[in-house]
Structure 1
Amino acid sequence: MIAITNVSYFLGDRALYDGASLHIKPKQKIGLIGLNGTGKSTLLRMINGEFQPDGGHISKSGDCTIGFLNQDLLSYQSDDSILSVAMQAFERQNELQVQIDNILHEMEHDYKDELIDKLARVQDEFEALDGYSVQSKAEAILEGLGFVTDDLQRPLRLFSGGWRMRVMLAKLLLQKPSLLMLDEPTNHLDLPSIQWVEKYVQSYEGAVIVVSHDRQFLDNTIDTTVEVSGGKLVYYAGNYSYYLEEKDERNEIQRGAYENQQAKIRQTERFIERFKAKATKSRQVQSRVKALDRMDVVDAVVDENAKVHFRFQFTTQPGRHVFQLEDASKAYGEKVILDATNISMERGDKIALIGANGRGKSTVLRVVAGDEPIEGKRRLGHNVMFTFYAQHQLESLNVNHNLIEELKYANPNKTETELRTVLGCFLFTGDDVFKKIKVLSGGEKSRVALAKVLLSQANFLLLDEPTNHLDMQSVNILIQALQQYEGSYIVVSHDRYFVENIANKIWYIEDHQIKEYPGTYEEYEIWVEERGLQSAVSDKAVVSSAPPQKAKAQPAPAAPKNKSLSNEETQKLKKAKKLIDELENTISKLEDQKAETEVKLAEPSVYNDAKALADLNRTYAEIRQKLEKANGDWETAMLEVEELAG
């Protein structure tokens, strides 16, 4: 269908492609993978005819049609309804519909035989092209991509970039080109929509090329993997998991061949060095020199699976209870997000908040952060220090800082060597660390912002779609960093591989409540499937049965009532809880006083006044003593509450 033969393409003096070849067959499902900057999107644009190769050629069969979904479509706007935009895919059917409408309008005034014959011919063609069902097809695809029926007549310009991208995807799917090219299609889709697109691509009758960092999406949709590496297109006859296994085997073979060749080269060079001055050995020496010149050098294996060699630590340990919502409600006008919901998390919880777009996941993160007012109570635990990562916060990076300066701002206590190590974990090496923020790509800015989050000394992280705009290597680094992280976090993500590897609990929003499944994402999916539900992440099904007893999920109430209490115990419980509140207020004030005293002690003028210095040191010692006692009393009171309520 399409033949790419010895193609070369240069950016300045750098070769993105050098003698690359690939044959795309009808109905083939290809995953195009490679590090950022290797030229995946460039190849798609060459196939689409937007870029011309500098060498070689790309040939297509005469009946080959191409549909290309790329990130440029985010900027497309129109006053037409999204249904009308999607139906632009049916160009000929739309023309015939206009003709039919015009003929019928004419016949209201002039009922001629010629018009009747013309109407019959046009309607026959319209029916042959299945014109009467095109609207229902467009509606089905738009609703499969997450739009509700009421959305379909709304103008495209009223929707955000991500939703406009879905409309353009719907239009491409309706066109049914012989080759469908999708560049990062999952970036702007929620889990239910990703799963819907997966099923569509699996049954798609044409060929597909997908560029994606979503491993599970690739595994579920492709039958061939093509890696862009060293300017070549390397072919693997299987999905992404097959590619990983096969590449390991190829690397092992290449590593053995490289080591054997290097040993032979060293042996030959020793022979040349030893006998080059002996006339009797000159023929053998010259023979070996020529053999080295003719040798096809085996490249060393480059390990592209970056490892995190840095431990992300924090100094302040939080209390047992990290966060709690009590009877929390949140609504925007008539749109209810939460209604009297109760949920809590404890130290060490690694939570993934999943579900369809529009259910309020990002709102929940803002509620947890205290950025959204609510009805009910929001409680942040003792000594809990949090930081919040979201895409819009990339704008808060100082564009005039270089990378070292930006990370130094996040944690002034780290040395430049430590900061370089952190940046190396996030694929910034050598002179990259002195780049200005303003010259970075969106993905690079995301990596810097994530590095800042992990350096922030926070013991509680809130991460909203952290994998957007990251390639697979960067996602793998983030997974390793979060697996090493000893604090707690809540992550909103639609990347199932990422969620499976970083979460030990799943939260989802259903019936305006935050509900919890206490297990991994894989276990959660099995639990959902066993009960014959539609994907619970879509929030369309109602979960009528609880999880199994061994994995029972219930929001933790403010005062657990797992046993009946006597009046005396009830009074003790109330008294202990009141004491905890008082102690947390006291601790907060003492910590403020301690910080203020430390600032004063750091002033040079104090050291010129012996009396003032002695008074400050005495005050500082008293505050620390009180703080230590308050923390001890807090722990004792917490243990008492747990014992009484347990």
Structure 2
Amino acid sequence: MISINNLSYYIGGRALYENASLHIKPKDKIGLVGLNGTGKSTLLKIIHGDYQPSSGELQKAKDCSIGFLNQDLLSYQSEESILDVALEAFKETLKLQEEIDAVLKQMETDHSDEIIHKLAKLQDQFEANEGYTIKAKAEEVLEGIGFSTSDLSRPLKTFSGGWRMRVMLAKLLLEKPSLLMLDEPTNHLDLPSIQWVENYLKTYEGAVIVVSHDQEFLDNCVNSIVEVSNGNLTLYSGNYSFYQKEKKERMEIQQNAYENQQQMIKQTERFIERFRAKATKSNQVQSRIKALDRMERVAEVVDDNIAVNFKFRFTQKSGRDVVVLDHVSKAYGDLTILKDTSARIERGDKIALIGANGKGKSTLLRIIDGTEKINGKRHQGHNVIKSFYAQHQLEALNVDNEILQELQQAGSGKTDTELRNVLGCFLFTNDDVFKKIKVLSGGEKSRVALAKTLISEANFLLLDEPTNHLDMQSVNILIQALQQYEGTFITVSHDRHFIRGVANKIWYIENHQIKEYPGTYEEYVFWKEQQTVNTQQSDNQSKSKSENKKKVFSESEINLARKELKKKEQELSQIEEKIMILETKKADLEKDMANPEVFSDNSKIEILNKDYQNLKFQEEELNAKWERLVEEIGELQESAG
């Protein structure tokens, strides 16, 4: 479908890609992974045609259509409702609808054969395009990715950038291109929406390329991984977990080959040095020198997985109770977030607050922080020192500061050496620490803000979506750092890999109440699945009991039911005869309407059509009575024994 051969792409003098190749086949589900800055988004833009390669070739099949979800779409706005924007995916079908409407308008004054044939042809095309179902399809996709039914009529411009991105995702999914390219789609989705998209992509008929840092998302919806590293594209035939295992094995093989080659090189070099001056060995020496020059060197393995030894320092240990919420309620006008709910955070709790967007997770985080007005009481425990990380804190960074300078001004009391060690854990090494904040990418700013949060001497951390804009390596670093953290924290996150790595309690909001599961995410998922199974079994048992439960009737009730049953059966027989008569009359009318002489006479066809519609209406009424009588007879048969 798409063939990339010997692709090279240069930015300035730096080669982002050099002689890279990749072949995308129909129905491939590819996860594109690699460190930030290696060129994942650039590759998608090259495939889309936004960028031209410096050299090499990119071939596409003629019938290959491409749908591209990228961060540039965040700025798209429209006065149209989000349902209408999503329906733009069906341009051809909507155009047919407009033509049908125009023809129907024309038929008010024009009854020619030509216009009737034109309408029939358009309606056939519209039906072939499944035009009668496009609205239902659009509603299903929009609601699947988190919109409520009432949202569908709201103009696109009234939604935030992240929600607008969801609309553009819905539009792309409805278009069903041959190749669907998604650049960080999970950044703008909550957990239920992520799971919905996973299930959708599993059965997607076309090919998919996904750039994502959500490891579980990749595990659940791709069947191959392409790693972008050192200007190359390396294919792994499996999901992300397979890639991790396979890469480790490949690295071990490569490292062994490197070490063996280095040993051989040293032995050869010692031979050359030892016998360079001996005339009798000159041919052998020259032969070995040429062999070394021709040798294709095996690269030493560079392990991307950094082990973090991040030491947190507290001057004060908090009391046992960190924050207690007592009969708390919170509403914005008519929108109720929490209602008379209570919760307790104790020292050592590592809480993940999960669930769909719009349930109030960020609001709850601000309530816990004490910055949100509430009805009810909030108690903060003894010696609690808070530090709050949220996306808006990226804007609070001083853009004119250097990275090291920004951490120096955080008031942690750490030395420059300690701060540089911390920054090294967050992938800022050597002269990187002297970069200005204003030149950093969104992901790099996130890492600086997280480092500032973690070096504070806070014994209670509040983290709102800390993994957004972080690559996989940075997420793993954050997991390791929080695993070593001896204080208390609560984090809002939709990243299941991250939650699995750090949480010992799960919180969620249900029916305006704070609910707690006292265990890991794995245990919570198992418990939730069991709850679903138990509920289904209970519903099935109740249904079965209801169906099997029979009422006991008296003899007089049975006799009465038998009389009524006989009456209803006679009535049913009469209706069936009437339906047969109507069907015969309809068939006769259809023959008359098909007669060329009658068909060409507008006045006759109009009278026949009116009679036909009248018969059709009578038939529908009789069919409705027939269905009702069948149900009544079934009930009477049970009563009559």
TM range (shorter): 0.7 to 0.9
Residues 81 and 197 of structure 1: CA distance in aligned 2, closer, same or farther (over 3 Å):
same
Q: Distance in 1 between matches of 2:309 and 2:295?
A: 37
Deviations 1:356-382 (A, max 9, x none): 000000000011111110011001110
Percent of aligned pairs sharing the same letter? 68
How do 1:60-459 residues align onto structure 2 when only pairs under 5 Å count? Answer: 60-459=60-459
The residue type paired with residue 5 of structure 1 is N
How far apart are 1:22 and its partner, in Å? 1.0
Deviations 1:539-571 (A, max 9, x none): xx9x99xxxxxxxxxxxxxxxxxxxxxxxxxxx
How far apart are 1:58 and its partner, in Å? 0.8
Q: Distance in 1 between matches of 2:212 and 2:74?
A: 17
Which is further off, 444-453 or 400-409? 400-409
Q: Distance in 2 between matches of 1:503 and 1:332?
A: 30
Q: Distance in 1 between matches of 2:25 and 2:231?
A: 22
How far apart are 1:110 and its partner, in Å? 3.9
Residues 125 and 58 of structure 1: CA distance in aligned 2, closer, same or farther (over 3 Å):
same
Counterpart in the other structure of 1:642: none
Q: Distance in 2 between matches of 1:385 and 1:128?
A: 65
SS of corresponding position for 2:153: coil
How far apart are 1:499 and its partner, in Å? 0.4
How do 1:562-641 residues align onto structure 2 when only pairs under 5 Å count? Answer: none
Deviations 1:129-182 (A, max 9, x none): 111111111111111111111111110000011111111011111111111111
Counterpart in the other structure of 1:9: 9
Report the TM-score, using the length of structure 1 for normalisation.
Answer: 0.82
Counterpart in the other structure of 2:529: 529
Which is further off, 183-192 or 44-53? 44-53
Q: Distance in 1 between matches of 2:310 and 2:333?
A: 46
SS of corresponding position for 2:409: helix
The residue type paired with residue 407 of structure 1 is L
Counterpart in the other structure of 2:34: 34
How far apart are 1:266 and its partner, in Å? 1.0
Matched residue pairs, number?
538
The residue type paired with residue 235 of structure 1 is L
**Structure 2 alignment gaps of length 5 or more:** 540-641
Which is further off, 211-220 or 262-271? 262-271
Is the CA contact (8 Å cut-off) linking 1:528 and 1:534 kept in structure 2? no
SS of corresponding position for 2:64: coil
Counterpart in the other structure of 1:575: none
Is the CA contact (8 Å cut-off) linking 1:26 and 1:207 kept in structure 2? yes
How far apart are 1:192 and its partner, in Å? 0.4
**CA RMSD of superposed structures (Å):** 1.5
Is the CA contact (8 Å cut-off) linking 2:412 and 2:455 kept in structure 1? no
Counterpart in the other structure of 1:482: 482
How far apart are 1:108 and its partner, in Å? 3.0
Is the CA contact (8 Å cut-off) linking 2:508 and 2:515 kept in structure 1? yes
Is the CA contact (8 Å cut-off) linking 2:258 and 2:300 kept in structure 1? yes
SS of corresponding position for 1:531: helix
Residues 412 and 466 of structure 1: CA distance in aligned 2, closer, same or farther (over 3 Å):
closer
How far apart are 1:310 and its partner, in Å? 2.5
Is the CA contact (8 Å cut-off) linking 2:222 and 2:239 kept in structure 1? yes
Residues 206 and 414 of structure 1: CA distance in aligned 2, closer, same or farther (over 3 Å):
same
How far apart are 1:109 and its partner, in Å? 4.0
Is the CA contact (8 Å cut-off) linking 2:309 and 2:481 kept in structure 1? no
Deviations 1:590-612 (A, max 9, x none): xxxxxxxxxxxxxxxxxxxxxxx
Deviations 1:486-520 (A, max 9, x none): 10000000000000110000000001011100111
Which is further off, 195-204 or 310-319? 310-319
How far apart are 1:277 and its partner, in Å? 1.9
Which is further off, 53-62 or 296-305? 53-62
SS of corresponding position for 1:410: coil
SS of corresponding position for 1:307: coil
How far apart are 1:534 and its partner, in Å? 12
The residue type paired with residue 179 of structure 1 is L
SS of corresponding position for 1:209: strand
**Structure with max Cα Rg:** 2
Q: Distance in 1 between matches of 2:68 and 2:520?
A: 35
Q: Distance in 1 between matches of 2:286 and 2:329?
A: 85
Residues 287 and 127 of structure 1: CA distance in aligned 2, closer, same or farther (over 3 Å):
same
Q: Distance in 2 between matches of 1:418 and 1:462?
A: 23
How far apart are 1:120 and its partner, in Å? 1.2
Is the CA contact (8 Å cut-off) linking 2:276 and 2:285 kept in structure 1? yes
SS of corresponding position for 1:80: coil
Is the CA contact (8 Å cut-off) linking 2:389 and 2:450 kept in structure 1? yes
The residue type paired with residue 172 of structure 1 is L
Deviations 1:60-88 (A, max 9, x none): 11111111111111110000110110010
Which is further off, 78-87 or 404-413? 404-413
Is the CA contact (8 Å cut-off) linking 2:310 and 2:484 kept in structure 1? no
Counterpart in the other structure of 2:501: 501
Residues 76 and 128 of structure 1: CA distance in aligned 2, closer, same or farther (over 3 Å):
same
How far apart are 1:533 and its partner, in Å? 6.6
Counterpart in the other structure of 2:58: 58
SS of corresponding position for 2:427: coil
Report the TM-score, using the length of structure 2 for normalisation.
Answer: 0.83
How far apart are 1:276 and its partner, in Å? 1.5
SS of corresponding position for 1:58: strand
The residue type paired with residue 526 of structure 1 is F
Counterpart in the other structure of 1:44: 44
How far apart are 1:311 and its partner, in Å? 0.9
Is the CA contact (8 Å cut-off) linking 1:313 and 1:485 kept in structure 2? no
Q: Distance in 2 between matches of 1:247 and 1:272?
A: 37
Counterpart in the other structure of 2:587: none
Q: Distance in 2 between matches of 1:404 and 1:222?
A: 39
**Structure 1 alignment gaps of length 5 or more:** 536-540, 545-646
Residues 53 and 64 of structure 1: CA distance in aligned 2, closer, same or farther (over 3 Å):
same
The residue type paired with residue 27 of structure 1 is K
How far apart are 1:270 and its partner, in Å? 1.4
Which is further off, 243-252 or 264-273? 264-273
How far apart are 1:412 and its partner, in Å? 4.5
Q: Distance in 2 between matches of 1:314 and 1:436?
A: 29
Q: Distance in 2 between matches of 1:137 and 1:87?
A: 9
The residue type paired with residue 293 of structure 2 is D
Deviations 1:306-350 (A, max 9, x none): 121331222210011111100000000010001011100110000
How far apart are 1:462 and its partner, in Å? 0.3
Q: Distance in 2 between matches of 1:173 and 1:313?
A: 48
How far apart are 1:464 and its partner, in Å? 0.3
Q: Distance in 2 between matches of 1:375 and 1:427?
A: 43
Q: Distance in 2 between matches of 1:194 and 1:313?
A: 37
Residues 412 and 360 of structure 1: CA distance in aligned 2, closer, same or farther (over 3 Å):
closer
Is the CA contact (8 Å cut-off) linking 1:394 and 1:446 kept in structure 2? yes
Q: Distance in 1 between matches of 2:514 and 2:500?
A: 19
Counterpart in the other structure of 1:473: 473
The residue type paired with residue 315 of structure 1 is T
Q: Distance in 1 between matches of 2:280 and 2:220?
A: 66
SS of corresponding position for 2:392: helix
Counterpart in the other structure of 2:628: none
